Structure 1
Amino acid sequence: MLKDKSRKVELKVSADGSHTLFVPELDEHYHSVNGAYNESMHVFIEPALLYCNKTNINILEIGLGTGLNALLTATNTRHKNILYHSLEKFPLETEAAQQLNFARNNSEQAIFEKLHQLPWNSTERLTPQMSILKDENDLTSVQFTQQYDVVYFDAFAPEVQPEMWSEAIFQKIYDAMNIDGILTTYCAKGIVRRTMQAVGFTVERLPGPKGKREMLRAIKK
């Protein structure tokens, strides 16, 4: 049995062959069982990172988790400089991270290993184009000191972490984003969409990854 810093997790293989982790305590997976790698590309990289037309961007990730989104950002970037700020209240233990199979080649594996070896709570250079701050912190209590161009909202589902999907949380994120900032999430529930709209986001439904009919992209106008 593997662990993050407070919970047991189980290694699982998703439908596209990439790993995900299952948390028995929450009855929840870190990624889609229909394809972890493909879900991250579909929900975060393509409609957020690659949709952003800035050359220098600040990214906020809600939930570092396995590090898959961070790895895919580092290996798919066409931007000149990325500052990647990832919040994670329950960091994954090194033993669990070492078993994940997200890298497609030796170069990506080196980046992934470095990602998990870098110290927490300090901004460090991951690649020539990307610096990362792995912030062992809670979104409900963190105080943002910069503005963001892209937000990957990858918290556990509203049924599991309802406090993460509140109007207060989305207002906090909205206030920390630059104009034309982009937020994407896998969750397309009507109440989530209406909550985003209530704080000022312009929200559109997009086709979801395999296993989900829709996802959401929100823009700060």
Structure 2
Amino acid sequence: MEREVVITGDGSSTIHLPQWNEQYHSKHGAIQEAYHVFIKYGLHHYCYSELDSESQLKVVSNGIQTARISILEIGFGTGLNAFITLLEAEKLKCSIDYYGVEGYPVQKEEVVQLNYPEKLDAANKENLFINLHDVSWEDRHSITSNFSLTKQNRFFSEIKEKEQFNIIYFDAFGARVQPELWTEDIFQKMYEALQYNGVLVTYAAKGSVRRAMQTVGFSVEKLPGPPGKREMLRATKKS
């Protein structure tokens, strides 16, 4: 399938698939979408609402007690969400175990065309972004002192973890082109993979998606969407 790196509305790049008229990130702004959907309403929401819970595992990093958070990304893709989360982990003083699932990994020649370190004012950390893609699949790697990455080359339907993750970034291609990724069967796997009080966030807001989430047991909220979208969804696995 033909693929091309293009520039989105906020100046950051993404990969466009002309045959599907689909891209890895919003054409209105890749970085804006990532921050709005996955950081603001996912990572920040969880940190500020859940980390005082006695159920949270505390770890010591450089002599400072921090929270350990486990994140599953459905659609590792360009690595943008992982890279921003790495940068946020430093600001939040938390320790993040990040798992990225991807059926069709991005190629190295595409990675070097992505301008995320520059647009995030993190050009001095470009080596970390490249490292996210260079490290081997299926193994756990310590990228920084408070961010580990495990990339898994498998399909979403193959996820079998139980109560392992605190947050899921659900960033699959849209239901218009891959409806099989937005079914009750897939969201049942997501529900089982989350710990109680864990959250799943996605840019999607279709009624069929919301109903599929609710059917498997999620409590679902409609939230303001990123630029170019009116709404998005956040699903919580209530205890």
Q: Same fold (TM over 0.5)?
A: yes
Residue aligning to 2:35: 41
- In terms of Rg, which structure is larger? 2
Q: Equivalent of 2:214, from 197, 201, 216?
A: 197
Are residues 1:58 and 2:70 paired?
Answer: yes
Distance 2:2 2:134 in 1: 21
Residue aligning to 1:70: 82
Residue aligning to 1:130: 147
CA RMSD of aligned residues (A): 1.2
Residue aligning to 1:22: 16
> Where do 5+ consecutive residues of structure 2 fail to align?
52-66
How many Å apart are 1:79 and its aligned residue? 4.5
SS at match of 2:128: helix
Q: Equivalent of 1:180, from 179, 197, 216?
A: 197
Report matched runs for 1:69-148 at 5 Å: 69-77=81-89, 78-103=92-117, 104-144=121-161, 147-148=164-165
Q: Is the contact between residue 203 and residue 219 of structure 1 (CA under 8 Å) also seen in structure 2? A: yes
Q: Is the contact between residue 159 and residue 189 of structure 2 (CA under 8 Å) also seen in structure 1? A: no
Residue aligning to 1:218: 235
Larger fraction in helix: 2
Residue aligning to 1:168: 185
Distance 2:212 2:25 in 1: 23
Runs of 4+ in 1 over 4 A off after TM superposition: none
Distance 1:185 1:20 in 2: 17
Q: Is the contact between residue 75 and residue 108 of structure 1 (CA under 8 Å) also seen in structure 2? A: no
State, as a whole percentage, how many aligned pairs show the same letter: 44
Give, as a single letter, the amino acid of the residue that structure 1 aligns with 2:26.
S
Distance 1:124 1:176 in 2: 21
Distance 1:182 1:145 in 2: 14
Give, as a single letter, the amino acid of the residue that structure 2 aligns with 1:119.
S
1:98-137 superposed Cα distances (whole Å, 9 cap, x missing partner): 1100112233312101111111111111111111111111
Q: Is the contact between residue 57 and residue 79 of structure 1 (CA under 8 Å) also seen in structure 2? A: no
TM-score (norm 1): 0.94
Residue aligning to 1:4: none
1:170-219 superposed Cα distances (whole Å, 9 cap, x missing partner): 01110111011011000001111111111111111110001000000111
TM-score (norm 2): 0.87
Aligned residues: 215
- Greater alpha carbon shift after TM alignment, 158-167 vs 46-55: 46-55
Distance 2:198 2:130 in 1: 30
- Greater alpha carbon shift after TM alignment, 67-76 vs 78-87: 78-87
Residue aligning to 2:64: none
